[in-house]
Amino acid sequence: MTQQVKHFIDGEFVAPTGDKLIAVTNPATQDVIAQVACATAAEMERAIESAKAAFLTWKEVPVSERARLMMRFAHLLKEHQGEIADIICRELGKTVEDAKGDVWRGIEVVEQAANIPSLMMGETVENVARSIDTYSYIQPLGVCAGITPFNFPAMIPLWMFPMAIACGNTFILKPSEQDPMTVNKIAELFVQAGAPKGVLQVVHGAKEQVDAILHHPDIKAISFVGSVNVGQYIYKTGTDNLKRVQAFAGAKNHMVIMPDANKQQVVNALVGASVGAAGQRCMAISVAVFVGAAADWIPEVAAAIGKVRPGVYTDPNAAYGPQISPQARARVLSLIEQGKKEGATCVLDGSDCKVDGYPNGNWVGPTVFSNVTTDMEIYKQEIFGPVLTTMQVGSLAEALKVVNDSPYGNGTSIFTASGAAARKYQHEVEVGQVGINIPIPVPLPFFSFTGWKGSFYGDQHAYGKQAVRFYTETKTITARWFDDDIPVSGPNMSINLR
């Protein structure tokens, strides 16, 4: 019998009552491994009401106790890292190493959430006026929600709900319907860690359930990671409903390669950053901009990428897995064909990729284009597959113009031996996350994930100090206490403190 994915509502896993079913398939075989039912309106309402009721008591829990919950949760995630990774492998197709990395980067955010007492410290100034003090407290918002994508089913939910809950909020999580079992396991461990009933809810579904979150008056803030079109929709609809929204959207990340860079380091970095995780990550390097004589390295880059092969997660030699769905594979293949038609040179073509024993898998082989220009669709669109496009420019200034003219600003990197070139690049590039001789500059969670331009809609970013600001309000108190010997003066008819 096919496994039925349950909702996690009001502190328990409950069998779904909805009749709209979505199949969860193994992307290497197309075998149906589970079915997830979209939450009904009644189930959504029950989850939100439970979170609303739990908030009244959870916000009063001392911050040190909330921190200890996160410590226990992080410990359990570490103990079960392999088990969670195995679920990711089965429903998403990642390699074991990649799946474990997915879990580990989430654990790091939970560890940061355990630092919540210091992160929620307010400010104080004594004697802002005579015998008057001002101080501030940081307080939670209420019920918050998260809508997460398929490509990091452990890490991205863990970006969201641990920080929100550590701040004193309660949380509704709507994970991707394409790989929902990972989140359910994480919720199970959160309960084992001692999370009170109603603090976290997990509801499954698709657009209808997202819309319920966007429009419900009791949800105060929404976090989202996904595509550009959906991110814009989430941001516009959520803010129209007077909610706080942080929406992380698409990307087109460039690596600039200077002629003085270490060639072998460049080659190794481009192999992993372009086709790793089947290219299904928003921080993948999909454009390599070679400056001057560095363009001579393109054939060597293509040759190194050509040695990489996809496969199933049980194959220890597989470098990456399949695309998440046949539709995703078809889109990538369509963009590869479009690139050929537009005049780019397909140096390495992975369109006809096959993996022995898995004829039905969503396979796309590593692909490399040269002579790409900014007006081509393979440049303009986020391919989200194992495809690297390469460009050639004459100077760092030209490379900066290419990157800065892009509508996206998630991540970028420069490989160089010149401190001056690196300093100029990091200062002038209009991208939120910059790597210097590091291909994928995702910051550790004591910093924040800071995409710019069309890669992010909102004001405060994920995890780090910005997440605390996103999930809280600041209350400022100005106080004076009267001693008996202080003479009573007349009314103060101005706004001046005195």
SS3 2: coil
Of the two residues 484 and 365, the one the predictor is more confident about is 365
Average pLDDT, stretch 87-97? 98
Query: Rounded to whole angstroms, how far apart are CA atoms 179 and 272?
Result: 24
Span 32-90, pLDDT tens digits: 999 999 999 999 999 999 999 999 999 999 999 999 999 999 999 999 999 999 999 99
pLDDT at 106 (0 to 100): 98
End-to-end CA distance of the chain: 75
- Where in the chain are the domains? 3-250+451-478, 253-407+411-436
What CATH number has the domain spanning 253-407+411-436?
Answer: 3.40.309.10
Q: What is the mean pLDDT of the chain?
A: 97
- The backbone region for 61, taken as left when phi is positive above 0, alpha when psi lies in -120 to 50, beta otherwise, is beta
Residue 281 CB coordination number (10 Å): 21
Intrachain domains 3-250+451-478 and 253-407+411-436 with the same fold: no
CA dist 63 → 40, 58, 341, 493 (Å) = 34, 10, 59, 41
Average pLDDT, stretch 141-157? 98
Q: For the whole prediction, is pTM greater than 0.85?
A: yes
CATH topology classification for 3-250+451-478:
Aldehyde Dehydrogenase; Chain A, domain 1 (3.40.605)
Average pLDDT, stretch 387-391? 98
Long-range contacts of 373-377 (CB under 8 A, 24+ apart): 373/344, 374/402, 374/405, 376/338, 376/339, 376/342, 376/343, 376/344, 377/335, 377/338, 377/339, 377/342
pLDDT at 464 (0 to 100): 95
Using DSSP, how many helices (H) and how many strands (E) does the chain show? 16, 23
The one catalytic residue in 38, 144, 167, 282 is: 282
Q: Is the pLDDT of residue 434 over 70?
A: yes
User: Does the annotation mark 167 as catalytic?
Assistant: no
Q: Is the pLDDT of residue 489 over 80?
A: no
Structure tokens at 179: 């790989």
pLDDT at 1 (0 to 100): 58
Kindly give, in sequence order, each residue whose CB lies less than 8 Å from that of residue 322, ignoring residues fewer than 6 positions away. 27, 28, 93, 278, 310, 329, 361, 362, 363, 364
Q: Is the pLDDT of residue 209 over 80?
A: yes
Type of residue at 305: I
